[in-house]
Amino acid sequence: MDRYCNEKDIEICAVTQHILSHTIVIITVYRSSTGNIAYFLDNLETALNQVYNNTVNIILCGGFNINYLSDNQNKQALNSLLTSYSLYSVTDFPTRIHNNSNTMIDNIITNKFKNENYSI
């Protein structure tokens, strides 16, 4: 995944685990709030394309710096990309609480329909 990394735009790494008859790919990602969103999405898509197939369980987690508590263009663009890989956010609470503001800029995303027994 090193070839997709670019400071502030996307930092990404992955590990593949084979447990019994299951293959799980755990991907961690970070995007700075000042990073280029188009570069982030393009490289995330390329990385997902590298690991995705119908039999792999994917857990994508990290600091996306895209607030999922509000409807915005970056959230819509990320969701559009993720749904094309059958990936959905499973985080349903604020991940950052500071003074009078709440945001959900850290996220856990998975192909949850394959993995219905999960807990955050």
Over residues 56-82, the pLDDT tens digits come to 999 999 999 999 889 999 999 999 999
Domains of the chain: 2-110 (3.60.10.10)
Orientation of helix 73-83 relative to helix 37-51, angle to 10°: 10
Residue type, 30: Y
Q: What is the pLDDT of residue 69?
A: 87
Q: What is the pLDDT of residue 43?
A: 97
| Model confidence, pTM | 0.87
Q: What is the pLDDT of residue 10?
A: 96
Any residues with CB less than 8 A from the CB of 85 and at least 6 apart, and which?
48, 52, 58, 111
Instruction: Using the CB atoms, write b or e for 80-94: b if 16+ within 10 Å.
Output: ebbeebebebbeeeb
Within the chain, which residues score under 70 in pLDDT? 112-120
Q: Where are the alpha helices (DSSP H) in the chain?
A: 37-51, 73-83
Please classify residue 106 by burial: count the beta carbons closer than 10 Å to its beta carbon, then call 0-12 exposed, 13-18 middle and 19+ buried: middle
Instruction: Report residue 18 as tokens.
Output: 């084979």
Q: What is the pLDDT of residue 26?
A: 96
Q: What is the pLDDT of residue 112?
A: 64
Q: What's the rounded Cα separation, in Å, for the pair 32 and 119?
A: 27
Residue type, 1: M
Q: What's the rounded Cα separation, in Å, for the pair 74 and 65?
A: 9
